[in-house]
């Protein structure tokens, strides 16, 4: 038998979520090796979101089975009000499994997705939203220009070539320094990056006075939640390696995939050392000394990374 009345019956109104939800996917299985600096990278990512966002938003973090130290940090952030929605998964569901939950459960109508190693700069949110709301049938907007696989933005080019209101130009519109900064964060050598730059091109669009570069990427993007939900569920059988499924399916559905002309976000990867000035300003931590050049010598680097990857799979790829 019930005793008394539920006090919730007397609550006259409830909180409403912001229109924009920023969702961060986090996975830090341990604090060593490849993940030695990832807790600080995550901290920097979350800090940069809060400090540079120029529109109201709610922050959602989905933790994909991280270690105790990472979970404790996120719980502390949640308890002090820096995170509005915190999802803690006991196991690693992979990016596809996490997307199924994030895209279904994010409360905002506009969803910003980001991996946990993205650094944001001033103006990224309003600039992304301007492109999303100006261009028609936009699938996703990534807050940094870089050269993605043309196979995944063919629908964007097809639309631009057929619409008389669009100005389309081909050429090198991403400056070399901006191009090099991003590709270097992916672990490529300067020779590889130079070859890529010289053998590819940018496609710049102008529509209703708003500039954009054709292309986008699954590592960070803004999209309408209803568009993302139309691609659910994602049935990926590996934690990583199949993330381009979203890029492919969105392009095949005819959605535009766009980027602003200016670099408003950056991939930190697993360390702050590649961004000594910006990372120090954001995180408040001193820059760390550079490592020996021998470790970046391609044969040495490949061998050590292969050994590390093999050991990691023995323990965690299950």
For the segment 2-15, what is each residue's pLDDT rounded down to a tens digit?
776 677 666 667 78
Predicted confidence (pLDDT) at residue 120 exceeds the cutoff of 50: yes
For residue range 186-195, list pLDDT tens digits in order: 889 999 999 9
- Least confident among 2-6, 27-31, 312-316: 312-316
- pTM equals 0.85
What's the pLDDT at 286? 40
pLDDT at 276: 47
Q: pLDDT by residue (tens digit) across 222-260?
A: 999 999 999 999 887 765 556 788 999 999 999 999 999
Average pLDDT of the segment spanning 309-313: 61
pLDDT of residue 169: 98
**What is the rounded distance in angstroms from the CA atom of residue 120 to the CA atom of residue 53?**
8
The pLDDT of residue 85 is 98
Confidence at residue 273, expressed as pLDDT on a 0 to 100 scale: 81
Determine the pLDDT at residue 307. Answer: 74
Higher pLDDT, 34 or 295: 34
**What mean pLDDT is predicted for residues 37-65?**
97
d(CA 271, CA 185): 9
What distance lies between CA 233 and its chain's CA centroid?
Answer: 19
pLDDT > 90 fraction of the chain, expressed in percent and rounded = 75
202-207 sheet: strands from edge to edge: 85-89, 58-64, 20-26, 110-115, 220-224, 138-141, 256-259, 210-214, 202-207, 166-171
Question: Could you tell me the domains of the chain?
Answer: 20-283 (3.90.550.10)
pLDDT at 112: 98
- pLDDT-based confidence at 30, cuts 50/70/90? very high
pLDDT, mean over the chain:
88
For the cut 50, the answer to whether the pLDDT of residue 282 exceeds it is no
Confidence class for position 280, pLDDT limits 50, 70, 90: very low
Predicted local distance difference test score (pLDDT) of residue 283? 43
Give the per-residue pLDDT at 209. Answer: 98
- pLDDT, position 191: 95
For range 100-123, the mean pLDDT:
97
**With 50 as the cut, is the pLDDT of residue 22 above it?**
yes
pLDDT for position 285: 44
pLDDT, mean of residues 150-179: 97
């Amino acid at each position: 038998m019930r005793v008394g009345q539920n006090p919730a019956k007397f609550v006259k109104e409830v909180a409403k979520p912001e229109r924009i939800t920023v969702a961060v996917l986090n996975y830090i299985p341990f604090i060593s090796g490849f993940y030695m600096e990832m807790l600080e990278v995550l901290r920097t990512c979350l800090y940069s979101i809060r400090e540079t966002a120029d529109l109201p938003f709610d922050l959602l973090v989905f933790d994909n089975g991280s270690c105790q130290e990472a979970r404790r940090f996120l719980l502390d952030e949640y308890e002090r009000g820096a995170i509005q929605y915190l999802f803690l998964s006991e196991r690693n569901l992979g990016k596809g499994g996490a997307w199924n939950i994030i895209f279904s459960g994010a409360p905002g109508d506009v969803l910003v997705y980001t991996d946990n190693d993205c650094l944001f700069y001033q103006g990224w949110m309003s600039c992304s939203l301007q492109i999303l709301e100006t261009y028609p049938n936009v699938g996703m907007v990534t807050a940094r220009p870089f050269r993605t696989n043309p196979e995944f933005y063919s629908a964007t080019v097809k639309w631009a070539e057929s619409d008389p209101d669009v100005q389309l130009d081909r050429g090198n519109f991403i400056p070399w320094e901006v191009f090099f900064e991003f590709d270097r964060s992916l672990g490529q050598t300067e020779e590889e990056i130079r070859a890529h730059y010289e053998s590819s091109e940018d496609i710049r669009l102008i529509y209703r006075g708003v500039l954009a570069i054709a292309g986008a990427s699954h590592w960070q993007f803004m999209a309408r939640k209803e568009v993302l939900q139309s691609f659910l569920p994602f049935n990926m059988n590996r934690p990583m390696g199949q993330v381009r499924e979203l890029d492919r399916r969105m392009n095949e559905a005819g959605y535009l995939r766009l980027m602003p002309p200016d670099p408003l976000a950056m991939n930190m990867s697993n360390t702050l050392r590649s961004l000594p000035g910006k990372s120090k300003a954001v995180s408040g931590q001193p820059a760390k000394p550079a490592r020996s050049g021998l470790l970046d010598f391609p044969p040495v680097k490949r061998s050590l990374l292969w050994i590390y990857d093999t050991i990691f799979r023995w323990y965690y790829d299950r």
